[in-house]
Amino acid sequence: MTARVRLVLFLAAAAVIAAFFIAACTGLPRFGSEAHPYGDRAVAAALAHRTANVVSSVNFDLRAFDTLGEESILFTTVLGATLLLRRARDEREKQPVPERVLPTTRLFGAVLLPVTLVVGAYVIAHGQLSPGGGFQGGVVLATALHLAYVAADYRVLQRVRPLTVLDIADSLAAASFTIVGFAALIAGGAFLKNDLPLGTFNTITSGGTVPVLNAAVGIEVASGLIVLLAHFLDQAVEITDPDGQETT
């Protein structure tokens, strides 16, 4: 396919998409208007299941099946990266040398690491009540751990992240989402049906399966991202080619 054919093909496809997109946009409610047909229904459904954070209710209750798919995407990504970035036969590991860290950087990391860990755990635990949830809190937890690398060096980071434990936690958390779904299927008759006691509105245990699935996603995202970053960091810091040749 020549560049000219490609360009013509692109322009034709872009014109079709632009036409349909503009036609669809004319049917949207006006920007910033008071009427939110989907929002009103979602809020009513969330309140019926005593979940204070409507977004979490949509993610883990009304559209829990979508979230199962999203969670599986992340799990597969980590799995794929683990497979692709494993140490090849012609690569060898090199123990990274500790580098000098500015005292202010060290202080910054030492102060911020526990604060960030608490923030991450808080965001996960209160996903059903306030903005945030398993995904956001999980990413905060995963990045928080890497402050150890910024403030100290790679060997300290290796000590604070037990990769085998995290691998298992990642798989168990990913599996537990499906297990909760099947448990609901057996107990209530529908996959991922919110059939647990709903609790008192606006308390940490409210929402039935929402906090359970939220916690599962939090653990999966946190451990999955730490494992993912570990493979990238290993490639960048530890693994070298045997004779210093560039591999393509």
Least Cβ distance, residue 97 to another protein (angstroms): 9
Written as six digits, the tokens of 232 are: 């990238």
Written as six digits, the tokens of 4 are: 């000219």
Q: Closer to another protein by CB, 156 or 185: give it.
A: 156
Q: Which stretch binds another protein (CB under 8 A): 7-15, 17-25, 183-191, 230-238?
A: 230-238
Closest by alpha carbon to 218, among 125, 81, 112, 144? 125
Q: Closer to another protein by CB, 61 or 184: give it.
A: 61
CB atoms within 10 A of CB 147: 22
Identified binder of another protein from the candidate list 29, 114, 131, 162, rule CB under 8 A: 131
Least Cβ distance, residue 70 to another protein (angstroms): 11
C-beta separation of 214 from 56 below 8 A: yes
Least Cβ distance, residue 235 to another protein (angstroms): 5
Rounded distance between C-alpha atoms, residue 100 and residue 96, angstroms = 13
Least Cβ distance, residue 175 to another protein (angstroms): 23
Q: Closer to another protein by CB, 143 or 158: give it.
A: 143
Locate the DSSP E strands across 40-156: 92-93
Q: Is 55 in the site for another protein (CB under 8 A)?
A: yes
Q: CA triplet 74, 54, 71: central angle to 5 degrees?
A: 10
Rounded distance between C-alpha atoms, residue 111 and residue 102, angstroms = 14
Q: Is 150 in the site for another protein (CB under 8 A)?
A: yes
Rounded distance between C-alpha atoms, residue 164 and residue 155, angstroms = 16
For the window 164-203, what string marks contact with another protein as x by the rule CB under 8 A? ----------------------------------------
C-beta separation of 138 from 217 below 8 A: yes
For another protein, the binding residues (CB under 8 A) are: 32, 53, 55-56, 99, 123, 131-133, 135-136, 139-140, 142-143, 146, 149-150, 225, 228-229, 232-233, 235-236, 240-241, 243-246
